[in-house]
Amino acid sequence: MSGDSDIARAPSPFDVERVRADFPILSTTVHGKPLVYLDNAASTQKPRQVLDSMRRFYESDYANVHRGLYQLSVRATEAFEAARCKVGRFVGAESCGEIVFTSGTTTAINLVAHGYGGDHLGPGDEIVLTEMEHHSNIVPWQMLAGRTGAELRIVPIADDGSLRMDEYERLLGPRTRMVCVAHTSNALGTRNPMRRIIDAAHACGAIVVVDGAQGVPHEKIDVRELDCDFFAFSGHKMFGPTGIGALYGKAELLEKTGPFLGGGEMIHSVTFDETTYKDPPHRFEAGTPDITGAVGLGAAVDYLEQIGMDRVEAYERDLLDYGTRLLEEIPRLTLVGTAAEKCGILSFVIDGVHPHDLGTVLDMEGVAVRAGHHCAQPVMDHFGLAATARASLALYNTREDLDVLAASIPKAIELLG
Ligand code: PMP
């Protein structure tokens, strides 16, 4: 290697203004005010690199995949499969075939519940969930329990929003078949001690399904280092398009997973007497997939890799500390979710002000935050709340964004409270 290429690869400092310039929407206005976008846990904005890749693909390489023998379809298939490999490499999968394209985290978890859980669970078997799960990591397991007679066991959270690991370890037992847990809570920001959770589950023979929706956009994920069995995530939360996401599954577990949706492309042969299925991952990709979405997700992965996830994590950690300090100084404001290990989520309530009203007033200041239960009603129940306001950060947010948020809240309190 020459010295020049070493220099070219040396990490440059994180330049947030350069990153922001990649996102056209960030220079727009709302109600005449510059947009301050703080709803990244719901969905992130898209950089030009992702938008351009999708446009280029539609304009020059688009056709259906895995079907035509003609040039264009071959090119489209190559682009689709190349995106699968990029996504796999990004999360540390051993092979491209361990990545199943789905429409997002929700579909990925339903796929595991139906295709794996349906065949491997029976009456009396136990599925361990946590109190901090998003509804998409609760409802599919409830539905599965209803069908199979399996039972749900719920790990409680502590009042700072961390997981009660003592309770978790107590709940594990010989009947535990599956542990389904968020890598990072979307409502509280808590980052769970994944390796400890996974090792303990494996020690009692259970398999682990990780809801990685809020992990992948914010830190380096290595599924092999985690040793998780399944890992689900969404493209639209990691600067890719909507409609595409992925399920990582260990090869030997995907092998043991039955089909979820039936249709074209997932079969070897069909007769009215018998249908045989393809091997993973194609067994799980019935019908025409979101081809251009996959290409866009591949471009989002390229984008994040070029910046470097370690730098993203460090930058967001600093922003979170800064935002936490600002919000803590606001009278009547209480942060919900103060675990020591957190990602950039600031969930809060203000005494005497409804979060929805707050959200509406902040919008008038150009500030986009979420208000509601964040599809995590058990979390709200734990804290005796109906809703919180939530500012969630991404790599393009700045200290100035947080200054605007913190300056707008007292104005809103004055108006509403
Ligand atoms: N899990 C978590 C932790 C989430 O934050 C979300 C999205 N809010 C989901 C699952 C569901 O993701 P999607 O809607 O992309 O399927």
Mean pLDDT of 9-18: 78
Please return the burial class of 138, using the count of CB atoms within 10 Å of its CB with bins 0-12, 13-18 and 19+: buried
Whole-prediction pTM value?
A: 0.96
- How many independent structural domains does the chain possess? 2
Ligand 1 center from residue 185 Cα (angstroms):
10
Using CA atoms, how far residue 312 sits from 11, 13, 78, 278, 400, in Å, is: 12, 11, 30, 38, 17
What digits encode the pLDDT tens for the residues 333-391?
A: 999 999 999 999 999 999 999 999 999 999 999 999 999 999 999 999 999 999 999 99
Q: Look at residue 10 in the predicted model and tell me its pLDDT.
A: 54
12 confidence band (pLDDT: 50, 70, 90)? low
Q: Helices 399-416 and 355-364 meet at what angle, rounded to 10?
A: 120
190 confidence band (pLDDT: 50, 70, 90)? very high
Q: Look at residue 3 in the predicted model and tell me its pLDDT.
A: 43
Residues 301 and 312 in one domain: no
How far apart CA 149 and CA 108 sit, in angstroms, is 22
Ligand 1 pocket test, candidate residues 110, 214, 230, most atoms within 8 A of CB: 214
What digits encode the pLDDT tens for the residues 296-306?
A: 999 999 999 99
Residue 105, ligand 1, Cβ within 6 A: yes
What element of type H or E holds 81? helix 71-91
Residue 106, ligand 1, Cβ within 6 A: yes
- The last residue of one of the domains, among 256, 282, 305, is 305
Residues 350 and 259 in one domain: no
Lowest mean pLDDT among 10-14, 93-97, 158-162, 272-276: 10-14
Q: Is pLDDT above 60 for 7?
A: no
In a domain, 1, yes or no: no
Mean pLDDT of the chain: 96
Of residues 252, 217, 224, 227, the one with CA closest to residue 89:
224
Q: Is pLDDT above 90 for 13?
A: no
Residues 322 and 394 in one domain: yes
Residues 254 and 289 in one domain: yes
Note down the domain range covering 266. 53-305
Residues 180 and 275 in one domain: yes
Tokens 């919900």 appear where?
A: 336
Residues 169 and 57 in one domain: yes
180 is catalytic: no
What digits encode the pLDDT tens for the residues 216-231?
A: 999 999 999 999 999 9
Handedness of CA 399, 402, 407, 410 (dihedral sign): negative
Q: Look at residue 8 in the predicted model and tell me its pLDDT.
A: 52
Mean pLDDT of 247-274: 97
Of residues 365, 331, 351, 370, the one with CA closest to residue 416:
351
Locate the ligand 1 atom nearest the alpha carbon of residue 184 and give its number: 3
Ligand 1 center from residue 13 Cα (angstroms):
31
Locate the ligand 1 atom nearest the alpha carbon of residue 133 and give its number: 3
1 confidence band (pLDDT: 50, 70, 90)? very low
- The last residue of one of the domains, among 305, 323, 356, is 305
